[in-house]
Amino acid sequence: MKVTIHLWDLPHRLFHWLLAASVAAAYATAKVGGEWIDWHGRLGVFILGLLVFRIVWGFIGSTHSRFATFFPTFSRVKAYVKGQWEGIGHNPLGALSVIGLLLTLGVQVGTGLFANDDIAFQGPLFNFVDKDDSDKLTGWHNSSINVLLGLIALHLVAIVYYRVAKKTNLVKPMLTGKKEIPRVLAEAISAHEATKAGVIRFALSLIISSTAAWGAAGGITQLPQLTKITNPCCSVTWASADTSQPNQATPAASQPQTAQAPASF
């Protein structure tokens, strides 16, 4: 006999579908190019925010969203291969797929922030690296997409396999948050394994991820720059650079200079 339990929380599900839609849109805009390349960049920053949210949520979210719950340790993978693993969330192989996707997307987004196309597009953090380094990161950005597409294809094949071969619908729980499991397994789940995250933790995750996206989008360049100042007594202090005032000439520079003819004249 089976019972219905609440498995995936709402933030987890929103992350999943927003990430899927954003990755698809980012890939399409990159292929179309032209004026759409700016939207490709914006979607990249949005995906970065989603990834940061998922990382934070993986530590403070509800039980089955936390990495500690499903991280594919050697013992868990071994038990799964032997058919001895019992769980209700990501199985160890599915967990490997999740981590692989997150890491690959992290490489995609990270390199894209510094990338350029030698025409009109530059990543929001392009000016933080040399052109040669940007070109190298652009190459990694373009090549790692093949790894990402391979992982996505493997993810979709697994969904179909579970639906056809094992009669298990993996899509429905990610839509509704609910899953049917055997009553024996449900009874074996201890009370502490059903911890809810709460609104405060969700708000904290949003703040952290939004701040990361803002900084990656160029917000970091708006922070006050520190300029090294050496005072007359040889001590070193730091002060915010004031770029709003015109440069004032030093007393030595303001004094008239007597022109001297070159020695060859």
- The tokens describing 205, both together, are 């995750």
> Binning pLDDT at 50, 70 and 90, where does residue 181 land?
confident
Give one DSSP letter per residue of 236-253, joined into a string. EEEEE--TTSPPPPPHHH
Helix (H) or strand (E) holding 7: none
Q: How far apart are CA 24 and CA 46, in angstroms?
A: 13
Provide the pLDDT for residue 94: 92
Provide the pLDDT for residue 193: 58
The pLDDT tens digits for 144-168 are 999 999 999 999 999 999 999 988 8
What rounded mean pLDDT belongs to the chain? 84
- The tokens describing 239, both together, are 């002060």
Provide the pLDDT for residue 250: 43
Please give the average per-residue pLDDT across 2-22, as a whole number. 93
Q: How far apart are CA 262 and CA 64, in angstroms?
A: 80
What is the crossing angle of helices 74-81 and 92-112, to 10°? 130
The pLDDT tens digits for 62-119 are 989 999 999 999 999 999 999 888 888 899 999 999 999 999 999 999 999 999 988 8
Provide the pLDDT for residue 46: 97
Contact by Cβ (8 Å): 62, 69: no
> Binning pLDDT at 50, 70 and 90, where does residue 190 land?
low
Q: Could you tell me which of 1, 37, 40 has the C-alpha nearest to residue 23? A: 40
User: Which residue stretches of 61-198 are H helix?
Assistant: 67-70, 74-81, 92-112, 131-164, 171-176, 183-188
Provide the pLDDT for residue 4: 87
Confidence check: pLDDT of 255 > 60: no
Please give the average per-residue pLDDT across 248-256, as a whole number. 44
Please give the average per-residue pLDDT across 158-187, as a whole number. 89
Highest mean pLDDT among 112-116, 189-193, 216-220: 112-116
Provide the pLDDT for residue 1: 79
Higher-pLDDT residue of 225 and 69 is 69
> In a 3-state reduction of DSSP, which class is residue 242?
coil
In terms of residues, how long is the chain?
265
Provide the pLDDT for residue 151: 96
**What is the greatest pairwise CA distance in the chain?**
106
pLDDT > 90 fraction of the chain, expressed in percent and rounded: 63
Provide the pLDDT for residue 88: 86
Provide the pLDDT for residue 120: 82
> In a 3-state reduction of DSSP, which class is residue 200?
helix
